[in-house]
Amino acid sequence: MNLLKEQLCTAMCADISLTEVGDGSYFVSTPFTFSDGDNYAIYLNRLASGGWRITDHGLTMMHLSYDLDIDKLKDGTRAKIFEQILGEHGLETDDGELFIEVPADALSNGIFTFGQGITRIHDLSLLSRINVESTFYDDLKEKLLEICGDGLEINYSVPGLADHKLYPIDFAISSKKPLFIFGVSNREKARLATIILQYLQKNHVVFRSLIVYQDMWAIPRSDLSRLTAAANDQIPSLDNVDDLERKIVDATAA
């Protein structure tokens, strides 16, 4: 056990080094890297109390910005995850800088905790499929609000229609012929949207419909075919923002 401990400590210490960068500040080089191969930015600044401020000088958020609009961390699903990560690792932020302050005798644990936090924050650009689906609706809502403003109704249902609460519409835009918009991120939502559209048509509701897919080609062909037949129009993905705005303008002007 002692030999193993000695081997592990030697191996780990060989992969970690300190470089003085001026003003009593040190750069901590570790084996941990971002996806582009750059090392994690971990710096140590001595505090007047004798402890240490462990900081990234804002470089983690800079790397994250390569793959993600940083403003999306201010609200919605990503914001909740971001705040949860900060809380769990005791991290604080200041104008994009991530940091944690620790007493001198807790420096090693602080560095490990800081590194774990950086890893999880950087992984926000690589969200799991489930979380990506959640952010898809946040992103769609944001785009629609930019286009429609106060004219957008969220989680709408047709008043006066029997069991209307059982047939929710993601977004509705009032016009001579209302436009109902459904966000579709997976097979199950494609099937639900098809059922709702068919129910509305069966009950002679006057409307136009627009389907916005997270990824149209990820939906099985049979489900895609049924939904295409039921809907008036569709957008393959949110990458087609110009098409989305044009189709909304055309549909609400009719």
> pLDDT digit of tens for each residue in the chain (254 aa)?
778 777 767 766 767 888 888 777 899 888 888 877 788 999 999 998 889 999 999 999 988 887 777 877 777 777 888 899 999 999 999 988 999 999 988 988 899 999 999 999 888 776 645 556 667 888 899 999 999 888 899 999 998 888 888 899 999 999 889 999 999 999 999 999 999 999 999 999 999 999 999 989 889 999 999 999 999 999 999 888 889 999 999 888 86
CB 180 within 8 A of CB 231: no
Structure confidence at residue 184 (pLDDT): 95
Structure confidence at residue 11 (pLDDT): 67
**Angle, CA of 58, 79 and 59, to the nearest 5°:** 10
Helix (H, G, I), strand (E, B) or coil at 32: coil
CB 113 within 8 A of CB 89: yes
Which two tokens mark 35? 């996806």
Which two tokens mark 181? 């918009």
Give the separation between CA 214 and CA 219, rounded to whole angstroms. 9
Structure confidence at residue 75 (pLDDT): 73
CB 98 within 8 A of CB 118: yes
Structure confidence at residue 126 (pLDDT): 66
Quote the pTM value. 0.55
Structure confidence at residue 247 (pLDDT): 92
Structure confidence at residue 209 (pLDDT): 96
Structure confidence at residue 206 (pLDDT): 93
Structure confidence at residue 92 (pLDDT): 94
Residues 77-85: contacts with CB under 8 Å, at least 24 apart:
77/131, 77/134, 77/135, 77/138, 78/124, 78/127, 78/135, 78/138, 81/124, 81/127, 81/131, 82/121, 82/124, 85/117, 85/120, 85/121
Structure confidence at residue 134 (pLDDT): 65
Closest C-alpha among 161, 154, 145 to residue 206: 161
